[in-house]
Amino acid sequence: MDDRWAEDLHRLWQAADEAVDVMVLADDLYDVLLRLPGVRVVVGTRWDGASRGRYLRALTAGDAAPTLELLAHGPYDGTPRRPAASAEVREHAVAELRGSAWPEAGALGAAGVSQALTCTFRLGDGEWSALTLGTGDFPERKLLEARLRQVSEIVAACGRRIAERGLAERLRAADALLAEASLQMDASLDVEETVQRVARIAVPAVAVGCLVHLYRDRELQCVAAVHVAARSQRGTAELGRSDPWLARLIARAVRSPQGLRLNAGELGGGPFSAAGDAGEVGDVGDVGAVTVDALRARGRVLGTITFLYGRPEPRMPEALFLGDLAKRAALALDNAMLYEQRRQHVLSLQRHLLPAELPHVQGLDLGASYEVGDPMLDVGGDFYDVVPRDGGAALVIGDVCGRGAEAAALTGLARHTLRTLLEDGAPPGTALSRLNAALRRERTSRFVTGAIACLDPDGGEGMLLRTASAGHPPPLLLRADGAVEQVRAGGLLLGVVDEPRYTVAEDRLRPGDTAVFFTDGLTESRARDGSFFEGLLPGRLAGLRGLGAARVAEELAHQAVDFRASGADDIALLVARVRGADEGADRGAAEGTDGSGGGGEGCG
Amino acid sequence: MTGERQGTAVAGGLILVVEDSEEDTEAIERALSRSHPEVALEFASGTEGVLARLLDPAAPRPGLVLLDLNMPGRDGHSLLADIRARGELADVTVVVFTSSTAPAEVEACYAAGADSYVYKPVNFDLFRTVLKGAVDYWQQQGGH
């Protein structure tokens, strides 16, 4: 072996050790081969795992730069030349090299050579390559063959090392996909959106298409269909929705303890059975393999996740990986479903703790609103009620500290105790004292605040407001002229001492005046800068002058929700406005502006 | 304006990457130079000048445009609309490559004529896998 050749090999080995792709070796490699005796052209081809040509590179003696030709779109099929485990060297007459297996023929012919010495070798990961030396004759055939083989072995070793690293990278990518899928699933608790997000990140990382079916009303329905190509999106959705073959397949997957894996040969009778034929379901592109895994969580099947793999080289991930992905997706979905169910329960229970609708009370326009802070935090303890009494009404608002079942039970107790007492004609202070006694008997550990206001005709056009409060935020009065006043009622929280005293504040309301009762969720709504909505409340309320009671209640609640950056406390509001004589005092005229109507037109 | 970072000139094998983030640009170059060494890459750090570049008859026509959506100035949505408004660019495959998986965003891009909508993951191994999957797919379709 001459020194130059030894140096060349050493340099190539070093480069091969660091290369991120075998193509990095090409410049040096072709120069080295072109210096071999008699060689006039060097042609390299690279083939994928399905023996489809990727590219061709050729360098002819005397040319400054190589030519590079992409073979991916050509008809090239290298199957007849696919190498066995070890590198093979063969000699060919260029004139005999024809057909789709020999893209080198053109470059060899153009260089005017008659003989070709070709070494084919595996690169790893299914790929392979061919290095061809073109010459008029081979004066030193054995030497050329040996050296071509030596160089090819360097490229093959380089390719295998890169492929091994690629395998490790794919495993890491699979882990990362599972991690990212978990993150995406946490980003939304909406079931269908969660499913669509998971399907989206899996394409094209896992496969070219992904379908998710979930049980809805005991039937599997397609809730997500994703394809890497926009043009196949609709076909994929149709496939998921209405293809009978796929429907049978996913029904089988639901019953199967393991995921289903169907290769090209097992797609018979389905929409993908004919190669390149989109079948009956529209354009879903070429599909060469299908996998279906059941989505199982907490012992039940929620649905299935189906992957479509492209042709001609469907690379299916490990079954373990698909199973893991299905498991994680199922758990996230189950959480989202449980959340939705729980949210509905909370909202429903909350509704039962509040009056279904406010009563009609002569001379009063009543309105209320309830904003649930965060349904996930469970049932809140705010409550309100209106009890009609002779010629007027008793208004109740209260707040049981805390959330959850115990708070809900106490809320029910407080509201219904007060309602019974007020229906029996108890004055506000007495009603609060009696509730306090009931709470003391129950030995409740929770604090309760509340305010009761009785509104009775004052003998003229207005009404008398008598308010007793037990540690509750003072109600506000919005006068017809826009002035805002605080009701001066105050007393101890309920359930703390045995015999608290509740004083009663008296205020006179004129037609157009409005009394606003609320819970601390309103005043304690807090902006990002730390300020509370309480400071803005009088000004905001003044701005609602002239509006009906229902609008005032809704507006204040919405403004507080918009204002707050933190805090997810519930907000309850109860509003009573004294009607003017021209609004009509009869029940029929009051219907248009009652609490359930939400309208405020015609006021003032 | 656009600038070429890698000089392997291959007719029909050019990808134009429109991406304002230096980090993502570097990651795309690293990923594609390994998975598709035969493909030449050209980079644009914003949408400005990209349409003119695509229409320039003297410059090689990229078969595929890899488009980030969120960029300062005219964003990726506007460029996508511009490209799809030009009939002569109908054969250019546009792959939106973005960090959002919001279904509404996907719908908007498909409606605007994107050929693919591909999620851009944070993890580099997955990033490479996703890019390889997208480019492999369009190569096999003969789309670029």
- Structure tokens of A157? 């070793």
Q: Which residues pair with A478 in a beta bridge?
A: A484, A514
Report the alpha-carbon distance of residue A198 to residue A336 in Å, rounded: 13
**Integer angstrom CA distances of residue A60 from A115, A118, B87:** 14, 16, 40
Report the alpha-carbon distance of residue A24 to residue A365 in Å, rounded: 83
Q: Which of B37, B109, B134 sits opposite A228 (nearest CB)?
A: B134
| Residue A261 backbone class (left: φ over 0; alpha: ψ -120 to 50; beta: rest) | beta
Q: Indicate the pLDDT class of residue A189, thresholds 50, 70 and 90.
A: low
- Judged against a pLDDT cut of 90, whether residue A475 lies above it is answered with yes
Residue B84 near chain A (CB below 8 Å): no
pLDDT at A537: 95
Those residues whose C-beta lies under 8 Å from the C-beta of residue A356, and which sit 6 or more positions away, are none
> Which A residues, 305 through 364, put their C-beta within 8 Å of a C-beta on chain B?
310-312
Q: Is there a contact between A516 and A578 (Cβ–Cβ < 8 Å)?
A: no
Question: Position B141: which residue type?
Answer: Q
Report the alpha-carbon distance of residue A550 to residue A599 in Å, rounded: 7
- Structure tokens of B56? 């320039």
CA-based nearest residue to A173, from A330, A325, A333, A331 = A325
Chain B's closest residue to A173, CA to CA, is B126
Report the alpha-carbon distance of residue A538 to residue B136 in Å, rounded: 64
User: Which of B116, B120, B138 is most worth mutating to test chain A (most A CB atoms within 10 A of its CB)?
Assistant: B116
Q: Which residue has the tokens 């208004």?
A: A395
pLDDT at A285: 80
Distance of CA B87 to the CA centre of its chain: 18
Q: What are the φ and ψ backbone dihedral angles of B42, each rounded to 5 degrees? A: -130, 140
Q: What is the pLDDT of residues A271-297, one digit of tens each?
A: 886 544 444 445 788 888 999 999 999
Q: Which residues pair with A77 in a beta bridge?
A: A52
Q: Which residue pairs, CB below 8 angstroms and at least 24 apart, start in A598-601? A: A598/A367, A598/A550, A598/A551, A598/A554, A599/A548, A599/A550, A599/A551, A600/A547, A600/A548, A600/A549, A600/A550, A600/A551, A600/A552, A601/A548
Report the alpha-carbon distance of residue A131 to residue A56 in Å, rounded: 10
Q: Is there a contact between A448 and A425 (Cβ–Cβ < 8 Å)?
A: no
Report the alpha-carbon distance of residue A464 to residue A506 in Å, rounded: 7
Q: In what order do the strands lie in the sheet with A448-457?
A: A382-389, A392-400, A448-457, A463-470, A505-509
A269 vs A541 pLDDT, higher one: A541
Q: Which residue has the tokens 């600038």?
A: B3
Residue B137 near chain A (CB below 8 Å): yes
User: Distance, in angstroms, between A146 CA and closest chain B CA?
Assistant: 28
- Judged against a pLDDT cut of 90, whether residue A191 lies above it is answered with no
- Judged against a pLDDT cut of 50, whether residue A598 lies above it is answered with no
User: Distance, in angstroms, between B99 CA and closest chain A CA?
Assistant: 10
- Judged against a pLDDT cut of 50, whether residue A593 lies above it is answered with no
Q: What is the pLDDT of residues A373-393, one digit of tens each?
A: 765 656 778 999 999 998 899
B142 and A72: CB-CB below 8 Å?
yes
pLDDT at B41: 94
pLDDT at A162: 86
Residues in chain B: 144
- The SS3 call for residue A465 is strand
Report the alpha-carbon distance of residue A116 to residue A336 in Å, rounded: 65
Chain A's closest residue to B109, CA to CA, is A230
pLDDT at A371: 86
B22 vs A126 pLDDT, higher one: B22
**Integer angstrom CA distances of residue A389 from A160, A213, A360, A552, B58:** 90, 57, 11, 24, 89
Question: Position A409: which residue type?
Answer: A
Mean pLDDT of A238-248: 93
Residue B10 near chain A (CB below 8 Å): yes
Residue B21 near chain A (CB below 8 Å): no
pLDDT at A140: 83
- Structure tokens of A582? 């021209």
Asked casually if ipTM beats, i.e. exceeds, 0.95, the reply is no
Q: Indicate the pLDDT class of residue A585, thresholds 50, 70 and 90.
A: very low
Element spanning A472, H or E: none
> What is the number of H-type helices and E-type strands within chain B?
5, 6
Q: Indicate the pLDDT class of residue A90, thresholds 50, 70 and 90.
A: very high
Residue B140 near chain A (CB below 8 Å): yes
A544 vs B38 pLDDT, higher one: A544
Residue B117 near chain A (CB below 8 Å): yes
Report the alpha-carbon distance of residue B86 to residue B51 in Å, rounded: 9
- The SS3 call for residue A23 is helix
Q: Which of A72, A173, A179 sits opposite B129 (nearest CB)?
A: A173
pLDDT at A584: 54
- The SS3 call for residue A420 is helix
Those residues whose C-beta lies under 8 Å from the C-beta of residue A35, and which sit 6 or more positions away, are none
Q: Which residues of A touch B101 (CB under 8 A)?
A: 184, 187, 196-197, 200-201
Q: Indicate the pLDDT class of residue A437, thresholds 50, 70 and 90.
A: very high
Residue B110 near chain A (CB below 8 Å): yes
Show the 3-state SS of A53-74.
Answer: EEEEEEEECCCCCCEEEECCCC
Q: Which residue has the tokens 């000004």?
A: A539
Mean pLDDT of A419-437: 93
Q: Which residues pair with A464 in a beta bridge?
A: A456, A508
Structural domains in chain A, sorted by start:
3-166 (3.30.450.40), 188-345 (3.30.450.40), 353-593 (3.60.40.10)
pLDDT at A316: 74
Q: Running DSSP on this structure, what letter comes out for residue A282?
A: -
pLDDT at B140: 79
- The SS3 call for residue A104 is helix
Q: In what order do the strands lie in the sheet with A571-578?
A: A364-371, A571-578, A514-518, A476-478, A484-486
Q: Running DSSP on this structure, what letter comes out for residue B118?
A: E
Report the alpha-carbon distance of residue A367 to residue A552 in Å, rounded: 8
Q: Is there a contact between A238 and A210 (Cβ–Cβ < 8 Å)?
A: no
Q: Alpha helix locations (H) across A243-318?
A: 244-255
> Would you call the peptide bond into A474 cis, given omega within 30 degrees of 0 as the criterion?
no
**Beta-strand pair A219-227/A484-486:** unpaired
- The SS3 call for residue A120 is strand
A176 and B125: CB-CB below 8 Å?
yes
CATH superfamily, region B2-140: Response regulator (3.40.50.2300)
- Judged against a pLDDT cut of 80, whether residue A245 lies above it is answered with yes
Q: Which residues pair with A578 in a beta bridge?
A: A364
In this structure, the dihedral spanned by the alpha carbons of residues A162, A164, A170 and A176, taken in order and rounded to 10 degrees, is -100
Q: What is the pLDDT of residues A38-89, one digit of tens each?
A: 999 999 999 988 888 989 999 999 998 899 888 877 789 999 999 988 889 9
Q: Which residues pair with A309 in a beta bridge?
A: A289
Average confidence score pLDDT of chain A: 86
Residue A55 near chain B (CB below 8 Å): yes
> Which A residues, 229 through 288, put their C-beta within 8 Å of a C-beta on chain B?
229-231, 233, 285
Distance of CA A96 to the CA centre of its chain: 59
Q: What are the φ and ψ backbone dihedral angles of A164, each rounded to 5 degrees? A: -60, -40
Element spanning A237, H or E: helix A233-242
Residue B118 near chain A (CB below 8 Å): yes
Written as one string, the DSSP assignment of B51-81 is HHHHH-TTSPPPSEEEE-S--SSS-HHHHHH
- The SS3 call for residue A238 is helix
Q: What are the φ and ψ backbone dihedral angles of A308, each rounded to 5 degrees? A: -110, 130
Chain A's closest residue to B141, CA to CA, is A73
Residues in chain A: 604
- Judged against a pLDDT cut of 50, whether residue A359 lies above it is answered with yes
pLDDT at A60: 94
Indicate the angle between helix axes A141-187 and A319-352, nearest 10 degrees.
10
Mean pLDDT of A125-140: 87
Report which listed range, A34-38, A322-326, A489-493, A512-516, is most confident: A512-516
Report the alpha-carbon distance of residue B95 to residue B81 in Å, rounded: 13
User: Distance, in angstroms, between B95 CA and closest chain A CA?
Assistant: 9
Report the alpha-carbon distance of residue A572 to residue A559 in Å, rounded: 13
Residue B65 near chain A (CB below 8 Å): no
pLDDT at A197: 84
- Structure tokens of A233? 């999106």
First to last CA, chain B: 22
Size of interface A-B (CB pairs under 8 A): 107
Q: Indicate the pLDDT class of residue A314, thresholds 50, 70 and 90.
A: low
A55 and B38: CB-CB below 8 Å?
yes
Mean pLDDT of A211-240: 92
pLDDT at A587: 35
- Judged against a pLDDT cut of 50, whether residue A152 lies above it is answered with yes
Q: Which residues pair with B117 in a beta bridge?
A: B96
- The SS3 call for residue A24 is helix
A354 vs A567 pLDDT, higher one: A354
Could you state, in chain order, the average pLDDT of each consecutive group of 10 residues for chain B (144 residues)? 37 83 94 88 93 93 92 86 94 92 87 93 88 89 59
Q: Is there a contact between A202 and A325 (Cβ–Cβ < 8 Å)?
A: yes
A1 vs B67 pLDDT, higher one: B67
